Each structure stands twice: as C-alpha cells, then as structure tokens.
Amino acid sequence: MFLGCGQVPEFSGGKAYEYLLEQCKMGPRFPGAPGHEKLKGFLVDFLKPRADSIIIQDFTAKIKADGTDLELTNVIALFRGRSEKSLLIGAHWDTRPRAECHPEAGKRGYPIIGANDGASGVAILLHLAELLDKKMPLKTVYLVFFDGEDWGYQGSTEDFCLGSKYFANKLPVPKPNEAIVIDMVGDKILSIPIERFSYEFAPEMVKKIWNIARKRGYRQFEYRLGSYIYDDHVPLYRIAGISSIDIIDFEYPDRFHNYWHTLYDTPDKCSPKSLEVVGQVLLDYIFQEN
C-alpha cells in the first residue's frame, strides 16, 4: 500500500536492527570471505524487486601495500522521484579484515564482525529501500552500497574507500546533486557531531540535516564540530564534485573506550533506537520540499 503524498514514512529501528543481525550471522564480510559473497547475493536479491532499477558495478582493485587483487562490487539501487533533484545515500557493506585495534595483540589479525562498522549503515539503507518502494520520494534517490571501504592500512588513505573512488571516477548514474554517507550509526551511546570535511564540503546540507534532528528532538545529533574523518564522502566530493557529507559516530562507544576495529564490534553494542534516529532524519530529508 502506498502512503499519501503529504506523509513522511515512519522508520522502524527494530526492522533495521533485524537486518543488522542478519548481516552479522553471515560472519565477517571482507572481500574474499564467504560472508562477502553471501551478502552480495542478499543485497541483489533484496533490492531487485523493490528498486526501479539496480546497477551491479563489479571491479578489481590492486592493493599495493600487500599485493592483493580484490574483486569488489558496488550495488546501486535507483528510486525515481517526482522532482529533478537527486540524492545519493551510501554506506559500505564490507567489513574490516583485521582487528588491529583489539587490546589483545594475539587477536589483531582476526577479521571483525562489523555490527556497527558496516552492518549499521547497510541495515538503514535496506529499510529505506522497503519504505521508498511503498512511497515515491520527492527527490530521486540512489541507495549505494560501497564495497572495499575498509581494507586499507593505517597511515595511508590509498587503500581505503575503494568502492566510492571507483564510483566517483566512473559515475554509473547521472551525477547526483548531493550525497549523504552513513557509517557507524548503530552505537548504543549514539553521539553524532558535525564531521569537519562535511562542513567544508556542504555546509548548507549539514545545517538542514542537523535542524531536522533538532526539530525531532534527537539530541544524538550534536551541533558542534567533530574531527576530520576520511570516509566515502571524501572521494565523492574530491573526484566527482558531489556535495557530500558523512553522518558518523566515530567515538564507539565513547571517548574513553574503543570497539572500532576490534573484535568487540558486535550486535550487542548496537541499538534499534540509534538506527531509528538516523533513519528517520534521512527520511525527513528525502521528503523535504526544498
């Protein structure tokens, strides 16, 4: 059933959390792992009957640091809107192949499950796909699942954000007017300051998004500048010239403790409420008149 023209769909954090759990059950999802292939098939099967069209963007990335050739895939789902404006909402679907920040040195070579760092953004995009299937958005929306975001090595950005770099260089769709990347948005202790590149790249979009959150009473969106974070929004802006921002809670779970790139990044550290807050802000922006 389609919703009426004036209504903004209601985002279900519980539904998104189910998708987070489903991804984690597949195991680590770094390129070359069995879980990577499983999730690729799941994404395609899930999106095909819901989107107006999908694009499978396969490519090979050569990693200089370790001599690896990675077989990667971006998945792009198109939902046509009623206006000429277009919006890309992206998240990376791969997970970290090594837990180099884990406190036990002997376990730092193990791959992570990536409940927050990977699965949380994908979970939101999957539920957005369900909702956009039921109601045509004002803006044309591209939901983009980027691969190869999290392969790289600390100290260099060269082998990070491989999927968004490839997408930005090849642009398999007409250039979107703007882009929002979501990453690490499932943290139970959700705190989202304004990422600094985002404020430099697209200050007006930042203001609109954070004002939506304020009107909703979502204090998780903090109107203060945070750190510079190199994420998929950076190649989108620097290579393709797309006005891009990053919605990210990099202090996971807080400024005194760290689950990022450790084996502690598991579903119990994530919250349906956090997913709901971010998902609803995105829906409000998608259906905003201007």
Task: Render the chain in DSSP notation, one character per residue.
Answer: -PPPTTPPPPP-HHHHHHHHHHHHHT---STTSHHHHHHHHHHHHHHTTTSSEEEEEEEEEEETTTTEEEEEEEEEEEE--SSS-EEEEEEE----S--TT-SSGGGTTSPP--IIIIIHHHHHHHHHHHHHHHS--SSEEEEEEE-SSS---TT-STTSSHHHHHHHHH-SSSPPSEEEEEES--BSS--EEE-HHHHHH-HHHHHHHHHHHHHHT-TTEEEEE------THHHHHHTT--EEEEEE--SSEETTEE-TTSTT--GGGB-HHHHHHHHHHHHHHHT---
The residue ranges of every structural domain in the chain are 26-286
Return the pLDDT at 5: 45
Which pLDDT does position 84 carry in this prediction? 87
DSSP β-ladder status, 243-248 and 140-146: unpaired
pLDDT score recorded for residue 290: 63
- Indicate yes or no: pTM above 0.85: yes
CATH 1.10.1040.10 fits 26-286, yes or no: no
Asked if residue 262 lies in contact with residue 112, where contact means CB atoms within 8 angstroms, the answer is yes
pLDDT for 48: 98
Averaged in consecutive runs of 10 residues, what is the pLDDT profile of the chain (290 residues)?
62 98 98 98 98 98 94 98 95 98 98 98 98 95 98 94 98 98 98 98 98 98 97 98 98 96 98 98 90
Position 6 scores a pLDDT of: 58
